[in-house]
Structure formats: structure tokens, C-alpha cells
Amino acid sequence: MTDATAPPPGRNTAEAAVAPLVTFTLPPVTRTDLALYAGASGDHNPVHIDIDAAMAAGLDDVIAHGMLSMAWAGRVLEQITGPGSVQAYRIRFTAPVRVGDKLTVTVTRDGEQQPDGTTPTDVDVLVANIEGQVTARGTARLSPHALSAARSRST
């Protein structure tokens, strides 16, 4: 994963509502990624690995497994907060991910919620392609100390 950025310290609450905690840009999706994920997950749906089957389904090419996007976004969450910091995580797939897509995972925090180090923090997770089309969006609940861990990892 590359291009980790975080807002500078000292942002006010209003800015925190819209400023990402972190943004990661992932390498382009490859056919190898799809084949490896199919093998690891047991999901061998042909639209993910067989061009002819994808075309027969009305697609131009194979598309990535939705759960692969979720896994990559989950890995971003854990990378920025540390192992075991993600207490809950859900995501909804909104558009297909295609071979060659370069995805960006953005994690933001609701400006209304102020992490106090004693209660979990809810964050929004957005996955988009380079054209800005949102391919998945969701939420995660992070352990109480996860955001301070994220800040120390980003500096």
C-alpha cells in the first residue's frame, strides 16, 4: 500500500468532519490478484476469473470480487491502527472494480465524535477508483486507542 497521508495535527473539529484521517492508494488491480483471491476465498464465480463468462454476463472484462475490496480496505484500517484495533467493520459495494483500476481507500471520522481514549471511535471507509467513482463505502468501529496509534504511525 502506498501514498499514506494524514491531516496535520491541530485541525479543528469542523475540519476533522471532512478531512480524511488517512488516504491510501493501492496498486492497480491485476488478474493475478483476482486469481489469488479466488483460490484463497474459494469464490470461483466465473465473472471474476473467466473473460468469456464475464462477457456472456454483459461485462467487458472480469470484475474483482467485492470482498477483495473489503479485505484491502480492512487491511488499510489495521495498518493505520494496529493489529486488533478494528472491532467491527461493514461495507456495501456500489460499483464494480475492474482489472487495472487503481483504488484509493479513505478513512474519515465524524467531526461530532471526539475520541477520548476510553470509548470506541466510528469511522467511515470509502473506496474509489482513480476516476473518483465510489466502488464501496462502509463503517468501522475502532478500539479506544486506535486513533492515537493511527496518528503516531502517520507521522
| CATH value at residue 57 | 3.10.129.10
Quickly state the pLDDT bin for 20 (edges 50, 70, 90): confident
How many other β-carbons are positioned within 10 Å of the β-carbon of residue 7?
A: 17
Please determine, for residue 88, whether its predicted confidence score (pLDDT) is greater than 80.
yes
Q: What is the pLDDT of residues 143-155, one digit of tens each?
A: 987 766 555 555 4
Please determine, for residue 130, whether its predicted confidence score (pLDDT) is greater than 80.
yes
Burial of residue 77 (number of CB atoms within 10 Å: 0-12, 13-18, 19+): buried
How is residue 85 written as a grid cell?
484495533
Residues 6+ apart with CB under 8 A from 19: 7, 11, 108
> Measured in whole angstroms, how far is the alpha carbon of residue 8 from the centre of its chain?
21
Total domains in the chain come to: 1
- Look up the domain containing 149 and give its range: 2-154
pLDDT at 146: 76
Its sign, for the CA torsion 21, 3, 146, 67, is positive
pLDDT at 134: 98
Q: What is the pLDDT of residues 21-74, one digit of tens each?
A: 899 999 999 999 999 999 999 999 999 999 999 999 999 999 999 999 999 999
